[in-house]
Amino acid sequence: MRRGITHRLIETATVERSVSTPDGAGGWTQTWQQVGTEPARLSQPHPAEQTTADRSEAQVSHDVYLQPDADVRRGDRLSLRGLVLEVAAVVEPSVPIYRKASCTSTQP
């Protein structure tokens, strides 16, 4: 059996999911609801984005590593280290020892 990465997940990510609620006028309002916390590890921003981060509204890519059974989905939002990260995709290796959430953040 392969060893997981739990011992490397030294941070905690707050997981938020978009919820639609009626606005009382026939429409809907999107809000974010906290659905839990997960042990996590945030990678460094990808090098290409680091060189362009001084531009207005730069998109920065991050990978967040999680336990293989973490309840994180595409479209969720993760908060850690003061960053708010939008989850673009969630992938697992062929041997499920971790989950990786590919995320983006926006810098002003």
For 36-84, what is each residue's pLDDT tens digit?
999 999 998 875 655 555 666 778 899 999 999 999 999 999 999 999 9
Tokens of 4: 């997981």
In this prediction the pTM is 0.82
Closest among 85, 81, 64, 65 to 16, alpha carbons compared = 85
Tokens of 11: 């941070």
| Residue 77 DSSP code | E
pLDDT at 45: 85
Query: How many CB atoms within 10 Å of residue 72?
Result: 24
Question: 70 with 25: CB under 8 angstroms?
Answer: no
In order of 21, 47, 58, 74, the CA distances from 108 in angstroms are 29, 18, 7, 23
Which domains, from first to last, does the chain contain? 6-107 (2.40.10.270)
pLDDT at 79: 97
